[in-house]
Amino acid sequence: MPKQPRAWQRMLSGRRLDLLDPTPMDIEIDDIAHGLAFVARWNGQTRGDYAFSVAEHSLLVETIHARLCPGAPAKWRLAALLHDAPEYVIGDMISPVKTAVGPGYGALDARLAQAIHVRFGLPADIPKSVKRQIKRADRVSAWMEATAIAGFSEAEADRFFGHPDPALREGLEIVLRPPRQVREDFTARHAELLARI
């Protein structure tokens, strides 16, 4: 009988996360924060001495989402913070690679996202209207990242991400920090939002 390929990963918490059948019991925020703090956006093709991590991006998206939807309940702000959480174990694939991989990547991402949502008291499937709001915040963040550290001109970023309202970006900047600091801030923000649900 042929040996089955391993489809699980051991996390630093000691949890064993089955990628084909993830359960909320195997999800820990410390694992997510640690993983995302070490996953580089833009495949690491950014200026600076540190990568701009998915954890840093997630913190920025949650801040922008709060500006877009100032009355949003804490649970949807938490959903914004966790919008890329599956990448703690599957990495951040740039859009062209996702297209090349095909629908299997989306299914894997969705399974992990559902387990993560349930683990932290969110509905397994986030309502489409909330997803659209989070995606809008995500695109503002992507535009900021593209123009600040990824080598895009504003005109080029406008074509890919749309031109964001300057008021949404006011006072915000792209900050490159050591993974340890980002991990701590991500974990702290998660705890703040979870306490408000």
- pLDDT recorded at residue 35: 97
Q: Tokens 């991500």 sit at which residue?
A: 186
- pLDDT recorded at residue 170: 96
- pLDDT recorded at residue 112: 96
Q: What domains are defined for the chain? A: 26-195 (1.10.3210.10)
- pLDDT recorded at residue 92: 86
- pLDDT recorded at residue 7: 83
Q: Tokens 């991590």 sit at which residue?
A: 53
C-alpha radius of gyration, the chain, whole number: 17
What tens digit of pLDDT does each residue of 29-42 get?
999 999 999 999 99
The secondary element (H helix, E strand) that includes residue 6 is: none
- pLDDT recorded at residue 21: 92
- pLDDT recorded at residue 115: 98
Q: Tokens 């949502």 sit at which residue?
A: 117
Residues in CB range of 158: below 8 A, 6 or more apart: 143
pLDDT tens-digit profile, the chain (197 residues): 667 778 889 999 999 999 989 999 999 999 999 999 999 999 999 999 999 999 999 999 999 999 999 999 999 999 999 999 999 999 887 777 777 777 788 889 999 999 999 999 999 999 999 999 999 999 999 999 999 999 999 999 999 999 999 999 999 999 999 999 999 999 999 999 999 99
- pLDDT recorded at residue 192: 98
Which pair of tokens denotes residue 122? Answer: 């969110």
- pLDDT recorded at residue 55: 98
